[in-house]
Structure 1
Amino acid sequence: MKKYYPIDKPESEWRAKLDEQSYKVLREKGTERPNTGQYYLNKETGIYECKGCGNDIFHSSAKYDSGCGWPAFTEPISPKAIDVQMDYSHMMIREEILCAKCGGHLGHRFPDGPKDRGGIRYCINSVSMDFKKEDQ
């Protein structure tokens, strides 16, 4: 059964809004190559938002270097910012992270994060996000 999200557009509108790689990740559940995303090594302070709809997803204070090749976070900006679904693709069992507003695929959640920060790693594709730098 398909879940409906507050922002629901025809695929033609998503294609017009997103670049090819972002469309592949957000709408077709693809992934970017490791160590290539523009936010993988980003150390600036700000908010990461869904590239599809602008929903605030993660704050930079939750970002850390996990060594996985993708931006990694310990928690979303709010539990209501994301939707978690089981993903059984590619002969694996994983928790898929989706934007709670548009249902765009962001990445996956794993139980191997820093123990002192809750033990969860949100492994997120750079191309699924935009970054709003905070004025300091």
Structure 2
Amino acid sequence: MLLGLAAVPATFPLAARAASGTVTHTDAEWRRLLPPEAYQVLRHEGTEHAFSSPLDEERRAGLYSCLGCDLPLFSSKTKFDSGTGWPSFWAPLPNAVATKSDYVIVVERIEVHCRRCAGHLGHVFDDGPQPTGKRYCMNGVALRFTPGRTTA
């Protein structure tokens, strides 16, 4: 879990939680609220199997939000087919994600978390397309896709 997140009751309306800037729950609450695969990824920095998420093949216009707190994270306008088997984007929405260094595989990687609930989403790499050159490689089980509008 990232430091500095204040507890906000889950019973708050989503707009009130959004205004507070954070969403937190106990581990037991997260386990109850999330599907098992999403819980492992979002709360324990797991990784889903490549090519297992239907969101990798999603081509409609829409927004990708955090499954843990519903914060819009990515627009379909920045989605691209990276060929890696995970939904990939060249940029997040403004003020949507936070990053930190990850040394789980010994070499440094940059881990991507939801800014509001600190849920683990995936990693960002420097091998993406222009205009950013970034590849935000996300776990589909950590995301919710809503077709339609493409801005938050």
Cα distance in structure 1, aligned partners of 2:60 and 2:123 = 23
Shift of 1:38: 1.8
Equivalent in the alignment of 2:102: 87
Q: Please name the residue that 2:19 is paired with.
A: none
RMSD: 1.6
Q: Residues 30-68 of structure 1: CA distance to partner in whole angstroms, max 9, x if unpaired? A: 000001112011001100000000000000000000111
Query: Which string of whole-angstrom CA distances, capped at 9 and with x for unpartnered residues, describes residues 7-31 of structure 1?
Result: 1111111011101000000000000
Q: Does 1:22 align with 2:38?
A: yes
SS at match of 2:105: helix
Amino acid at match of 1:129: L
- Written as runs of structure 1 = structure 2, the 5 A alignment for 1:40-55 is 40-55=56-71
Q: Distance in 2 between matches of 1:111 and 1:27?
A: 25
> 1-side partners of 2:54 and 2:67: how far apart?
13
1:76 alignment counterpart: 92
CA distance 1:50–1:2, shift in 2 (3 Å): closer
Q: TM-score, normalised to structure 1's length?
A: 0.94
CA distance in 1, matches of 2:25, 2:50: 29
Matched AA of 1:98: H
2:145 corresponds to which of 104, 107, 131: 131
TM-score by length of 2: 0.84
For structure 1, the 5+ residue unaligned runs are none
**2:55 counterpart SS class:** coil
Residue 118 of structure 1 is matched in structure 2 by 132
Q: Deviations over 1:65-97 (max 9, x none)?
A: 01111000000011x100010001122310000
CA drift at 1:2: 4.8
What amino acid sits opposite 2:117 in the alignment? C
Which segments of 5 or more consecutive residues in structure 2 lack a partner in the other structure? Answer: 6-21
